[in-house]
Amino acid sequence: MTKEVLNHVRDLDENLKDWEDYLGQTSEKAFLSDRKARHALLHCALVALQAAIDIGNHWVSGLTPQRPESYRAIAEILKEKGEISGRLAENLQGLFSLRNVLIHKYQELDLKRLFAHLKKGIKPLREYLKLAKSNTRLIY
């Protein structure tokens, strides 16, 4: 893997671990009431999601000259090329959209719904990370 891709893989791996740790230590009540705890968890989620997107862009570029028109399209292309399952693509599309919501619409967030999405997001990102680490197309 290139140094850049390795950095993204490391960022995804490390921030997923922190994301899991924060979720394990933070109840929904604390997430809703403790701004600092919420910000720490959201920071881990944002860095992990951006790393996953960056990995996906590199992955897609090794498969096709087609450039994704959106972050969601990264998962769609990987699915179309047989690199990931339809279920994983669907989960990633939701997570990649969550990244945009966190960046662009933070004030409008339903925090209870966001907490539920954060709890569901770890497993598909772990699966994606495992596939990315084992994918020879990312080694160039």
pLDDT digits (tens, 9 = 90+) for 74-87: 999 999 999 999 99
For the chain, the structural domain boundaries read 3-138
Give CA–CA dist 111/109, Å, rounded: 6
pLDDT tens readout for residues 50-68: 999 999 999 999 999 989 9
- Closest CA relative to residue 96, chosen from 32, 51, 136, 126: 51
- Section 89-100 average pLDDT: 95
Give CA–CA dist 10/13, Å, rounded: 5
First vs last C-alpha separation in the chain: 6
Give CA–CA dist 56/119, Å, rounded: 22
- Closest CA relative to residue 84, chosen from 117, 45, 132, 47: 132
In the chain, where do the E strands start and end?
A: none
Confidence label for 47 from pLDDT (cuts 50, 70 and 90) = very high
Amino acid letter for position 20: E
- Closest CA relative to residue 71, chosen from 48, 97, 91: 97
* Helix or strand run (H / E) with residue 39: helix 35-61
pLDDT number for residue 139: 57
The answer to whether domain 3-138 has CATH 3.30.1360.180 is no
